[in-house]
Amino acid sequence: MKAISLNAIYVMWLREVKKFFRNKSRIIGSLGMPFFFLAFLGAGFSSVFSLPGMEGVNYLQFLAPGVIGMVMLFASMFAGISVLWDRQFGFLKEIMVTPVSRLSIMLGRVAGGVTTALVQGLLILVIGIGMGIAVPGPLGFLSALMMMLLISVSFISIGLIFASLMEDMQGFQLIMNFLIMPVFLLSGALFPLTSAPDWLHALSLANPLTYGVDGLRLSLIGFSQFPLWLDASVLAVFGLVMITIGAYLFGKTQV
Question: Nearest to residue 146, comparing CAs of 72, 226, 196?
Answer: 72
Cα(100)–Cα(109) distance, integer angstroms: 14
**Domain assignment present for 147:** yes
Residue 252 DSSP code: T
Low-confidence winner among 37-41, 42-46, 70-74, 120-124 (lowest mean pLDDT): 42-46
Contacts of 218 (CB under 8 A, 6+ apart): 143, 224, 228, 231
Higher pLDDT: 47 or 217? It is: 217
pLDDT, position 134:
72
**Domain assignment present for 1:** no
pLDDT, position 232:
93
> Helices 137-165 and 59-77: crossing angle, nearest 10°?
40
Residue 226 DSSP code: S
pLDDT, mean of residues 58-84: 80
Q: How many domains does the chain have?
A: 1
Cα(205)–Cα(211) distance, integer angstroms: 8
Count of beta carbons in the 10 Å neighbourhood of residue 175: 16
Is the pLDDT at 230 greater than 90? The verdict is yes
| Backbone Cα Rg of the chain | 19
Is the pLDDT at 136 greater than 80? The verdict is no
**Domain assignment present for 108:** yes
Cα(243)–Cα(255) distance, integer angstroms: 20
Cα(234)–Cα(24) distance, integer angstroms: 34
Is the pLDDT at 82 greater than 70? The verdict is yes
Most confident region among 80-94, 130-144, 202-216 by mean pLDDT: 202-216
| Coil vs helix vs strand at 108 | helix
pLDDT, mean of residues 47-67: 72
Contact yes or no for 69/209 (Cβ under 8 A): yes
CA distances in angstroms from 44 to 39, 60, 70, 137, 213, listed in the order given: 7, 9, 19, 27, 21
Contacts of 239 (CB under 8 A, 6+ apart): 150, 153, 154, 157
Cα(93)–Cα(87) distance, integer angstroms: 7
74 is in which domain, residue-wise?
Answer: 6-251
